[in-house]
């Protein structure tokens, strides 16, 4: 080691010792009081973290509870639309089968248009 390294380490050691002595002499509280204050601050921080966690889980739980019925309603609407489409396809199939069996030209087959009340409520009106 060089003499500069020894001087640095000696100075650091003397400075640390001086700082410790001055800190003990000037400290406004005893060590037990300071440790008790630090423990209280740590307990308060822990309690705040637990409260924040509980509030967060409650808000997530309520959001999930609100989301479930909305998904169920949309599923029911979709199921109704699928059932209506199946009925319309069955009607069309029957009409085409009747037309084929009676030898009516396919161009003369009339397909009824059924208005879906659920879709009529949700779709925007058509522009002219």
> What would the pLDDT profile of 32-47 be if each residue is shown by its tens digit?
887 888 789 889 999 9
Helix (H, G, I), strand (E, B) or coil at 27: coil
Distance CA 81, CA 119 (A): 8
- pLDDT above 50: residue 109: yes
In this structure, are residues 114 and 84 in contact, taking their beta carbons and an 8 Å threshold? yes
In this structure, are residues 37 and 29 in contact, taking their beta carbons and an 8 Å threshold? yes
Percent of the chain residues topping a pLDDT of 90: 36
In this structure, are residues 117 and 80 in contact, taking their beta carbons and an 8 Å threshold? no
Helix (H, G, I), strand (E, B) or coil at 110: coil
């Amino acid at each position: 080691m060089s003499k500069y390294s020894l001087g640095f380490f000696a100075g650091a050691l003397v400075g640390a010792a001086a700082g410790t002595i001055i800190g003990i002499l000037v400290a406004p509280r005893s060590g037990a009081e300071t440790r008790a204050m630090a423990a209280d601050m740590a307990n308060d921080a822990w309690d705040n973290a637990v409260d924040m966690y509980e509030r967060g889980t409650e808000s997530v739980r309520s959001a999930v509870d609100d989301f479930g019925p909305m998904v169920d309603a949309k599923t029911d609407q979709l199921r109704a639309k699928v059932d209506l489409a199946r009925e319309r396809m069955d009607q069309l199939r029957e009409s085409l089968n009747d037309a084929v069996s009676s030898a009516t030209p396919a161009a003369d087959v009339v397909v009824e248009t059924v208005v879906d009340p659920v879709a009529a409520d949700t779709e925007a009106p058509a522009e002219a």
